[in-house]
Structure 1
Amino acid sequence: MESIYKILMMLLGIAQFIIFAHIIMSWLIQFQVLNLRQPLVAQIWDGLNRLLEPVYSRVRSFLPNMGGLDLAPLIVLLAVYALRIVLDSNRAFFY
């Protein structure tokens, strides 16, 4: 059972990394540090969007329209942190 706990924590860590990468990359694209006309940047951006957009779209359906401010990545990141806390506090169940 300990291995299940470690696998779940690893998957949540990977999810955190992917969400952070998407957030930082969106800022860099918005401030024109990265250019989407570069093939590598466009491929990475497209891959991250394809991976995260199904999750973000579900969260956006519950959020009110905030104009140009997208809070979906923040909500998803907080949910991942909450899952990590729940798993850590129930660690004894896995041993």
Structure 2
Amino acid sequence: MRALLDVLMVALDFYSWLVIASAIVSWLVAFSVINVRNEFVRSIWNFLYQVTEPALRPIRNILPNLGGIDVSPIILLLLIFFVQRVIQLYVYPIVI
């Protein structure tokens, strides 16, 4: 059981890095630092969007409109960190 929890912790850590990468790429596209007409950039953009959007969309639906500021990645990261801490502090000690 502990091995499954370790895999879950690694998956959550990896997903948090994907959320951070998605936010950075969206900023770079918004400020025209990178161009989505490039096939490589477009493929990375589509991959990050498809991986993170299912988790970010419900958060965006709940949050009020903040005038162009998207805080949903921050809230998702906080939720991921909260789940990781709950696993570390409460689930690990009771698992053999």
Is the Cα contact below 8 Å between 1:4 and 1:94 reproduced in 2? no
CA shift for structure 1 position 56: 1.1
Taking the aligned partners of 1:44 and 1:94, their CA distance within structure 2 comes to 38
Question: Runs of 4 or more off by more than 4 Å in structure 1?
Answer: none
TM-score, normalization by structure 2: 0.91
- Which residue identity does 1:92 align to in structure 2? P
How many correspondences in the alignment? Answer: 95
- Which residue identity does 2:38 align to in structure 1? Q
Taking the aligned partners of 1:70 and 1:27, their CA distance within structure 2 comes to 11
Give unmatched runs, 5+ long, in structure 2: none
CA shift for structure 1 position 60: 1.0
TM-score, normalization by structure 1: 0.92
CA shift for structure 1 position 18: 0.5
CA shift for structure 1 position 32: 1.8
Match of 1:2 in 2: 2
